[in-house]
A and B are shown apart, each in its own frame.
Chain A
Amino acid sequence: MGVNRHANPALRLFSVLVGSFLIAPILVVVPLSFTDKDSFEFPPRGWSLHYYERFFTDPAWREPLLASLKVAIMVTLMATIIGTLASFAITRSRRRGVAVLQGLLLAPMIVPNVIVALAIYTAFLRWGLVGTVEGLVLAHVVLALPFVVITVSAGLRTLDPRLERAAASLGASPLATFRLVTLPLIAPGVMSGAVFAFVTSFDEAVISLYLQSPHLRTLPVQMFTSVTSDVDPTIAAGSTVILVVTTALILLPDFLKRRAPQ
């Protein structure tokens, strides 16, 4: 009906090009992971699963994968618990200091990553935390916290307070109200916060690079080292595995939400 309702063909063509640019990396990484040659030749001429086997069996790749999983799971637990508690405090209180607290909780997202990473490295050097799992987990929790706070407080703000009051007036204790009413209602927000925390830690490269030691090397660090030192298509297999796993994780809360009402 309007004059510009039908997008002109040039605009469509341009957008197709932009779309291709956006997914070009994925279109390269996935096929390359099935190559049978020891090179980054693209498109590959022959196919094999050799590099998948290597990714899961070669200690040079398997150990970083396990280290990353271990760190990411600990970060997810810590960040989700601490972040959910903090979200309650900032959404439920109307005191003046709350805005300052909120600013502090979101600050790690605003300060450039490389500054946070180098500052933490400098402090950890003095505290003897460089190269330790504990240090890496603490650093990753700092980066993951804002994502948990954003998703959980969004859930808390849309929560109807009358539901909690109803539970209390029916005789439920504060703890029972929390467990039986509040928590199930904010579960989707907590869940996506946890997913973001996991992905943040699992994909984090900068702090992990600075804090690495021969005994503590996460998957992104191994990928970085591999690319900067030799030509090894195992990184393509690893990238594809990560792509599939993170896509599944990110779609999980949506999927659960869709199934829940039935």
Chain B
Amino acid sequence: MPISSTPIMSASAPERPVRRLLWLSARPWYGVLLVVPAVCLLATVFAYPVAALIWLSFADPSLGLENYHRLLTDGVSLLVLLRTLRMATIVTLVTLLLAYPYAYLMTLVGRRARSVMVALVLLPFWTSLMARTFAWIVLLQDNGPINDLLAMVGLGPLELAGTEAGVTIGMTQVLLPFMTLPLYGTLRTIDRRLLDAAIGLGARPLTAFRRVYLPLSMPGVVAGAMMVYILALGFYVTPAMLGSPSESMISQLMTVRITQLLDFGAGGALATVLFLLTLLLLALVSRFLSPSAALGMSTRGER
């Protein structure tokens, strides 16, 4: 027995590594099966629920566009939707105005100063959202530090807590890193010698900036702005904690409709509108950028 098996062994031994090599290079079809657990989970706990909620907006309580008709005519939904769009626009513009000079300076300073500046952006990024929003309650309260500062320069106490202004300040701080990181990712790839060349050819510094630097920075501006705008549209925690129910945003209205009134049709209609807005924005931006860059993923590797 042992003797007769030897030739078989020696014949199959060199064959096995070859088959293994084939396994690695041919990449058999069943490798794709590894994705099955993830797909099952996402299908049941993500895709189906979202699709069902959208469906309910057309089918609950009766089949038709009734929920959308109500959305346009109930006097509240449209108002809240417009307020949400307005606040998301303001927050996006303010974060852009704050982040652009900051990211620009990041490309100019030395390595040590730059790592401090990066840390200042990343630290709030991973600080608990609850903790940060709570801090804004403390900062914005009537006798809080911000009003103390205002009093020092002779400005009267402002009512910030529970107002739209307060929500805007809080949201701006929370979303600022999402603007700063993609922006810095783009700005640092811009060759500054192009500016020198423009100035050498007789352009004034401001003209050189406007005609050369600004257009080159647009991918970062678009990526950051889209990221902030989409996040701002769907923000729930910060407006719910810093704002007042009478000035609610679309996410708060959806929450009340669904979790308190159990009006899935009306809540679903609001969700569908928000969903379509997001898709529309993504489609617009993907004309300028690759999808992964649009999501700011290129900056994730930098940490």
Residues of chain A touching chain B, judged by Cβ–Cβ distance below 8 Å, are 2-7, 11-12, 14-15, 18-19, 21-26, 28-29, 32, 40-43, 82-83, 85-86, 88-90, 92-95, 97-98, 101, 104-123, 138-139, 141-142, 145, 149-150, 154, 161, 164-165, 168-174, 177, 199, 203, 205-206, 210, 219-220, 223-224, 227-228, 235-236, 238-240, 242-243, 246-247, 250, 254
Contact = CB atoms under 8 A, between A and B. Distances in A.
B293 interface: no
A118 B21 contact: no
A7 B205 CA distance: 13
Contacts of A219: 130
A235 B130 CA distance: 9
Nearest to A4: B195
Given A24-B139, A235-B134, A239-B131, A104 B37 contact: no
Classify the interface of chain A: helix, strand, loop or mixed. helix
Given A98-B32, A118-B255, A238-B131, 16 more contacts: A18-B101, A21-B98, A25-B127, A25-B135, A25-B136, A88-B31, A110-B278, A112-B234, A113-B234, A122-B53, A138-B41, A172-B20, A205-B130, A224-B237, A235-B130, A247-B126
A93 B139 CA distance: 52
Contacts of A109: 295
Q: How large is the interface on B (under 10, 10 to 19, 20 to 34, 35 or more residues)?
A: 35 or more
A138 B38 CA distance: 11
14 contacts: A19-B117, A22-B124, A24-B135, A28-B145, A85-B38, A101-B39, A104-B42, A118-B53, A119-B271, A122-B52, A154-B301, A165-B21, A227-B133, A243-B128
B123 A121 contact: no
Nearest to B56: A122
A172 to B, nearest CB: 7
A250 B126 contact: yes
A202 to B, nearest CB: 8
B144 A121 contact: no
B79 interface: no
B218 interface: no
Interface of B: 16-17, 20-21, 23-25, 27, 29, 31-35, 37-39, 41-42, 45-50, 52-53, 56, 98-99, 101-102, 104-105, 108-109, 117, 120-121, 123-124, 126-139, 141, 143-145, 173, 176-177, 192-193, 195-196, 199, 205, 230-231, 233-237, 240-241, 251, 254-255, 258-259, 264, 267-268, 271, 274-275, 278, 282, 295, 297, 300-301, 303
A115 B136 contact: no
B258 A22 contact: no
Contacts of B230: 110, 112
Given A85-B37, A93-B32, A122-B56, A25 B124 contact: yes
A4 B192 contact: yes
